[in-house]
Structure formats: C-alpha cells, structure tokens
Amino acid sequence: MCRNQRVKLRKWLEGKENTDEVIGLFERNQGDNPACPYCRAINLYRWGKASELQRYRCRQCNRTFNALTGTPLARLRHKDKWFEYEQTKIEGLSIRKSADNCGIAKNTSFKWRHRFLQIPATRQPDKMNGIVEVDETYFLESIKGQRRLPRSARKRGGKAVKKGTSKEQVPVLVVRDPHGETANCILHGTSAQQIEPVLIPLLNKDVILCTDGLPTYKQIA
Ligand SMILES: [Zn+2]
C-alpha cells in the first residue's frame, strides 16, 4: 500500500469518509491507466465488477485484480460494514462485541481486526531528512479474543514461546529522523526485497542512514 493510499485510508478510518467513497478513492488512485499489481503490465481487459469494484484482467499474466488487491483490505467481504466495524474498534469493543454490533460472524470479526491493524495507526510522515535512524523490532502477534488458541495463552506482554524470531513475531520497521518524524511499518520479512519498498519512499535523497549491522541495510544503501 503506498503512502497515498494509506493517507486516504487513514482519513476514512477516522470516520471522514464512507465505504463507497473510500472504494472510489482507491479506484481513482489507480489512475486512468492502472497497472497489474503482479507484473506491472498496463495492457488490461476490464473484467466485470465484483462487490462494487471494477475488476481487471492482465493480458500479460492473465491474473485478475481490483483497486484493493495488495492492500490489507483485499478480498474482505461485507464492505458496507467496514465503516461501522472500524468505529467499534475505535470504541475499544472486543472482537466478539464488534461482531455482534455489526452482525458479522466472530471469525470474520477476528480476521478484520487483524487486517485493520495492518493499516498503520499513526499518521505517516512526509519524507525524512538528515540522519535517519532505522531499526526493526518485533511484536508478538495478537491472538487476544480468539477462542481456540493455536498455542497456550500467555500473559499480557509475555515472551514468545520460541526464542528469536518466529511466526509468532511480527517484524515492524521503525524509521525516525532528527525532526521527530516517525514511521512504523509492518514487514513481511527482513530481507532487502521486503524492507526496500517500505523504506525508500520514506527517505529524501540526501539522508544519512543510521542502522545496526543487518547486512540488508548495506544492500539497500
Ligand atoms: Zn500481470
């Protein structure tokens, strides 16, 4: 999800937009000539509509996609209920209560909570300047409110069962500049391939990167 989309989405999630509008925003964000999110080709067929979104089919790789493909909201159903659902999250309702309020299944509520959490909770800053500190940190994946736990419950803020990084731990990139701009982005891994697309758009050309010894940063720099 690019910064532009995030800003729009954040605005919507703050309650300033309704679902139709945000879908419209995503679609307009694609521009008049959307590119295939899988192979970047721009030769596309219009391929009908699904849940109010224009669907495209790529002439090069034959895959279909819409404006939400590649965002945390991709393939989530009941778009008409997202707005209401986000409100229950802001109000701090449990996963179960949110489900009851919105008339969705508890499993759906659980899934949505996680997808919505992937949307950065803080305003993402403009480009960073000066000496920019970058580091990865790990958060334990939240499974609070899930009735059948894939593992035994741990106390709040507890330790991961497995040492080091594991599937339980979600890597987050933290980027900060001397002017106090901070960005937090969930990573899918810590390889250059995964960090670079997140980090580069945050940086002005003349920044000095300050990192630990992770070879990935050297590669990106
Ligand atoms: Zn393609």
- Decide if 78 contacts 108 (C-beta within 8 A): yes
What is the distance of C-alpha 45 from the center of its chain? 27
Span from the CA of 215 to the centroid of ligand 1 (angstroms): 32
Residue 211 to residue 134: CA distance in whole angstroms: 5
Whole-angstrom Cα distance, residue 168 to residue 201?
A: 28
User: Tell me, what's the pLDDT at 190?
Assistant: 84
**From CA 94, how far away is CA 147, in angstroms rounded?**
12
Report how far ligand 1's centroid is from the alpha carbon of 70 (Å).
13
Residue 155 within any structural domain of the chain: no
Tokens 């508890």 label which residue? 106
Distance 12 CA to ligand 1 centre (A): 29
Return the pLDDT at 197. 83
Cα(60) to ligand 1 centroid in Å equals 5
Residue 179 and residue 202 in one domain: yes
Q: What is the pLDDT of residue 123?
A: 43
How far apart are the CA of 133 and the centre of ligand 1, in A? 36
**Distance separating alpha carbons of residues 168 and 200, to the nearest angstrom:** 27
Tell me the CA–centroid distance for residue 190 and ligand 1, in Å.
26
- Cα distance between residue 97 and residue 100, in whole Å: 5
Q: What is the mean pLDDT of each run of 10 residues along the chain (221 residues)?
A: 60 60 71 82 89 88 89 80 80 89 92 78 64 83 49 53 57 83 78 87 89 88 87
Q: How far is the CA of 51 from the centre of ligand 1 (A)?
A: 21
Give bridge partners of residue 56 from the DSSP assignment: 46, 65
Q: Does 66 lie in the same domain as 1?
A: yes
Q: Are residues 216 and 135 in the same domain?
A: yes
- What is the edge-to-edge ordering of all strands in the sheet holding 53-58? 44-50, 53-58, 64-65
Q: How far is the CA of 71 from the centre of ligand 1 (A)?
A: 17
As given in the structure block, the two tokens for residue 3 are: 């910064």
How far does the centroid of ligand 1 lie from the alpha carbon of residue 44, in Å? 8
- CA–centroid distance, residue 37 to ligand 1 (Å): 7
Q: Which residues pair with 47 in a beta bridge?
A: none
Give me the count of residues in the chain.
Answer: 221
The confidence score (pLDDT) of residue 18 equals: 63
Q: Please indicate, yes or no, if residue 160 is contained in any of the structural domains.
A: no
Q: Do 41 and 87 sit in the same domain of this protein?
A: no
What is the three-class DSSP state of 217? helix
Residue 149 domain flag: no
Same domain, 14 and 61: yes
Q: Please indicate, yes or no, whether residues 182 and 111 belong to a single structural domain of this protein.
A: no
Check: pTM over 0.85? Answer yes or no.
no
pLDDT score of 121: 47
Position 6 scores a pLDDT of 62
- Give which of 29, 81, 14 is closest to 51, Cα–Cα: 81
pLDDT at 158: 52
